[in-house]
Structure 1
Amino acid sequence: MRSLLGLTALLASARAVLAGSLPSKIYGVNIGGWLVLEPWMLPAEWDSMGGSICDDCSTCIQSEWAYTKEYGQVKANQEFAQHWTTWFTQDDVNTLVADGINTARIPLGYWIVEPLVSRATEFYPEGGIVYLQKGVQMLADAGIQVILDHHALPGVQTPGQSFTGNCTDNVQFYTDYNYERALTWTAVMTSLVHLDPAFSSVFAIEAVNEPIMDADKTPNYGIFQKNFVDTVRAVELTLGIPVEGISLGAQVTTSNFTEALGQVANASTTLNAEVREALAAAAPILVDLAAQLAVPALLDTNLGGGVDKTSLITTFMDINWQYDSPPNPADAAIGPQGYDNHLYYSYGGVADANPTAYLESICNLQRVQVDAEVGNTPLWFGEWGLPTQFEATDEFLSMWADAQKLAYSQGQGWIFWNFKVEQSEVAGNLSRQWSYIEGVNLGYLTKNPADYHNASVCEQYVTSS
């Protein structure tokens, strides 16, 4: 196979510094509420936009889908452009740098790749990918590495959640049609990471945020996991990035990247039909993005320097996220792979609602060890926070922050939800336990994320078993 040339010298030099391998320890935040808007995090702004919040989010305007359907494409595009401009800014990036953050996980909806949306039946604002490009450039310039998280999947991956973009019980992600759209999204985003210098700090791409926990309700999810990895690796092989354990089964004879994807899609003897269809579908989308985002290398990789040889880290929620005999994502691994787990005590079902029970639980957490036994390593905790089911004192929140950081640092590290939440009269005290930036300001979280107020906080709670 002939290697394709490409990328600019800027991309090559930036990625040499920033990308490719995991930080030795992840100290991160989610950039949530931005490109997937969750109204509970910014209730005053959402109200000013014309949205609403109710007990059952499927019955009011409490998602991007509901908003766009109610107000139409023009108003939705205008209002969300304003939100994307103001919710995540250079000032926020500067604060994260000052607070020692080295990783950002960016939740994304499938609709950020706009041709994947069926506009007659699906309703989402347009234009977000331009803001994503600006955001990852700011993070790259600041030396913060990035995980692109497919947070809201086509067809909706879990019921009754505004974080899926459409709060509904009609879950349709686990179908051939929507699996295929998710693979096309994957091919597009992998291509951007490798060919757009703005994405130079992206080191991982996450397949599905929080699928349904009952594996009996996620048919063929294990097949999708393997196809997700194959799609990422097929794009990389098309770019001449070596990947052990998989081959294209096709000859690439052009430096035009989108044409090369077509060659592989049409001629590969090793990739299955689903992966080849995703590559073919991604090619015309990338032609349009080359103009929209001003990335000529998407069309001709000879326009820059050499293609970076660093494979992305494919990422999944760990096997223990699901029950009822789930597929093991480790079985899908080809090349570097990471695993994500989320842990919130505030929703119940983890520990009794009192400080002692919380600390006894977190100080004896064995998730890193249990996951390692089935090959799910490295593991990081991609979502956690300080919320509790009881009225927490300032003293307890400092202990709670320390204890969680100690537990999660047994693995590859942690990513707090969220970098910030709204501070307003309507939001009340929300930021006290949900905002990383405010947690640092209030002293619950240490200014240096590797530090602790009391590194011995767990000693009295650890049990011999």
Structure 2
Amino acid sequence: MPGEHRDLVARDGTNLFNRNVSVVDGSGVKRWLPGVSKIRGVNLGSLFIIEPWMSNTIWNNMGCGNSASEFDCVKLLGQDKANAAWAQHWDSFITQDDIKRMTSYGLNTIRVPVGYWMREDIVDRSTEYFPEGGLAYLERLCGWASDAGLFIIIDLHGAPGAQQLNAFTGQVPAQVGFYNSNNYERALKFLEWMANMTHTNNKFRNVGMLEVVNEPSNSPDNGESVRSNYYPQAFTRIRAVEKQLGLDQSHYLHIQMMDQRWGSGDPNQYLTDKYFAAYDSHTYLKFSNTPVDQNTYITTSCNDDRSGSSPTIVGEFSMAVPDAEDWTPQWNPTLSSNKEFYQRWFAALITEYEKEVGWIFWTWKNDLGDLRWEYDAAVQAGIIPKDLQSIYNKHVCG
């Protein structure tokens, strides 16, 4: 378990996260990431891509008003004013104290959603509007997390042209625009740049995984395009950077794709080399057709088999329920009568997810006032235990 520094071994026998990697900057400094038995982590949602639905107070204070996305707010404010507003947000939203609190809760991993505009030279400033200056704050964050011994996943959450019509991409265009050669090329340039940085900048020394795109479209044509075109190129381009740096294969980054359950098809279909491939599985009962009943939710979670392609991490989940039930007496998480249910449900969720590589909760903090979406608040409310191993004492799933 966390703190014991045992190697994490995938089903195929490969060692996942125990890495002793040279930083190729001429210093000869070695970096080492302690092995962990299971991934236990949180997403840093709304840090580098603000999602108005869960950060509305922040959004309004920045002057974004009814803007649908970062793109729209930057266009509204103008570049200079937007840069200042975002710099203030990046500087204060996640602090070093947050990182310390994560480790005190027994967490060992962070997933950092970012947009392609983090690499500023691939943004078309004549038609695209995004904040500038985020890289310095990403570097600072990764330095803090590396110093704290956290494993880091960098997730391309916002792809060029938008992979979904959703503000989590940083923009909400009239139609998705990611699925063409021009935007694939820009995303691939982002991945090359990020791969190079993780191997040459000591602040990024605990970044061990790049997720090449979050939640791509599951339409047949777009899914086929991602599988046959984008995924193979992502592997080729990232590995080319690592070969150019002269790295041994055992020091390569893990390359993560959405698993087949996401609905974009089998991510392995067109891959000729799956070395250090990894898979991301997202599960929210809130958006499923599961009957809204406490016993059913626990039973469903206890039987939520996420096996398949290995290694699989459940990269997003929460304890949210359908909107119509959110604050009813049966589901209100602030009522003492529901505390035991939410404790048991969380235990059921992660018991199942730890049958695979582990899990990453969505998200660390927000301003919804709803602990079902906020790991820090759920711990403080006594819903999630600080001693994560104690969930096995509940024997929720038998």
TM-score computed with the length of structure 1 as normaliser: 0.75
1:312 aligns with 2:248: no
Do 1:174 and 1:219's aligned partners in 2 also have CA atoms closer than 8 Å?
A: no
**Divergent runs of 4+, >4 A:** none
**Aligned counterpart for 1:344 among listed residues 271, 276, 284:** 284
Query: Aligned match of 2:32 in 8, 16, 29?
Result: 16
**In structure 1, distance between residues paired with 2:211 and 2:54:** 22
Greater shift after overlay, 446-455 or 411-420? 446-455
| 2:349 paired with 1:404 | yes
1:455 Cα deviation after fit: 3.4
CA distance, structure 2, for counterparts of residue 167 and residue 9 of structure 1: 44
Equivalent residue, structure 2, for 1:49: 62
Alpha-carbon distance between aligned partners in 1 of 2:135 and 2:169, rounded to the nearest angstrom: 17
Q: Residues 318 and 329 of structure 1 are in contact (CA less than 8 Å); yes or no, is this contact kept in structure 2?
A: no
CA contact (8 A) 1:39 1:62 kept: yes
Q: Counterpart of 1:382?
A: 315
Whether contact under 8 Å (1:149, 1:207) holds in the other structure is yes
Correspondent of 1:433 among 364, 372, 387: 372
- The question of whether the paired residues in 1 share the 8 Å contact of 2:23 and 2:199 is answered with no
CA change 1:399–1:332 in 2 (3 A) is farther
| Residue 52 (structure 2) aligns with | 39
Greater radius of gyration (CA): 1
From 127, 147, 150, give the equivalent of 1:144: 150
Residue 353 (structure 1) shift? 1.2
Contact 1:402 1:454 in 2 (8 A): no
SS of equivalent to 1:40: coil
| 1:119-166 C-alpha deviation (Å, 9 max, x unpaired) | 00000000001100000000001111100100000010011x110000
Q: 1:450 to 1:232 in 2, by over 3 A?
A: farther
Over 3 Å counting, the alpha-carbon distance change for 1:5 and 1:151 in structure 2 is closer
Query: Structure 1: which amino acid aligns with 2:131?
Result: P
The alpha-carbon deviation at position 417 of structure 1 amounts to 0.6
Q: List aligned pairs for 1:45-194, cutoff 5 A.
A: 45-52=58-65, 60-159=66-165, 161-194=166-199
The verdict on how the C-alpha distance between 1:83 and 1:240 changes in structure 2, with shifts beyond 3 A counting, is same
Q: Residue 202 of structure 1: CA displacement? A: 0.4
Q: CA separation in 1, counterparts of 2:33 and 2:263?
A: 36
TM-superposed CA distance for 1:101, in Å, is 0.8
Contact 1:110–1:152 (Cα < 8 Å) also in 2: yes
**Structure 1 residue 236 and structure 2 residue 236: aligned?**
no
Does the CA contact (< 8 Å) of 1:31 and 1:105 recur in 2? yes
Q: Which moved more, 1:328-337 or 1:33-42?
A: 328-337
Structure 2 CA distance for partners of 1:5 and 1:316, relative to 1, 3 Å: closer
Distance change >3 Å, CA 43–CA 220, structure 1 → 2? same
Where does the alignment leave 5 or more consecutive residues of structure 2 unmatched?
1-21, 332-337
Instruction: Give the secondary structure class of the aligned counterpart of 2:129.
Output: coil
Aligned-partner residue type, residue 24 of structure 1: S
Match of 1:418 among 360, 363, 369: 363
Deviation, 1:42, is 1.9
Cα-Cα RMSD: 1.9
1:367 Cα offset (Å): 2.3
What is the one-letter code of the residue matched to 1:356?
N
In structure 2, how many angstroms separate the alpha carbons of the residues matched to 1:109 and 1:95?
A: 26
Structure 1, residues 267-306: CA drift from partner, whole Å, max 9, x if none? xxxxxxxxxxxxxxxxxxxxxxxxxxxxxxxxxxxxxxxx
Q: Distance in 2 between matches of 1:206 and 1:5?
A: 21
Cα distance per residue 1:204-249 (max 9 Å; x no partner)? 0001101112333334212210110111110000011134xxxxxx
CA drift at 1:5: 9.1
Cα-to-partner distance string for 1:381-407 (whole Å, 9 max, x where unaligned) = 000111112342222111110000111
Alignment partner of 1:221 is 2:256: no
Secondary structure of the residue aligned to 2:241 is helix
1:316-335 correspondence runs (5 A)? 316-322=257-263, 325-328=265-268, 331-335=271-275
Conserved? CA contact 1:215–1:326, under 8 Å: no
Change (3 A) 1:327 1:149: closer
Counterpart of 2:281 in structure 1: which amino acid? N
1:450 aligns with 389
Q: Distance in 2 between matches of 1:187 and 1:85?
A: 26
Q: CA deviation at 1:9?
A: 4.3
Instruction: Report which of the two has the higher share of strand.
Output: 2
Tell me the SS of whatever aligns to 2:315. Answer: strand
CA contact (8 A) 2:212 2:256 kept: yes
Q: CA 1:80 to 1:435, structure 2 compared with 1: closer, same or farther past 3 Å?
A: same
Q: Secondary structure at the match of 1:136?
A: helix
Distance across 2 between alignment mates of 1:380 and 1:8: 34
The 2-side partners of 1:109 and 1:412 are apart by 26
Render the CA deviation track for 1:97-127: whole Å, top value 9, x for unaligned: 1111100000010000001100000000000
Distance 2:351 2:222 in 1: 34
> How many residues align structurally?
364
State the alpha-carbon separation in 1 of the partners of residues 215 and 33 from structure 2: 31
Q: Give the secondary structure class of the aligned counterpart of 2:287.
A: coil
Q: Larger RCO: Structure 1 or Structure 2 (Cα < 8 Å, ≥ 6 residues apart)?
A: 1
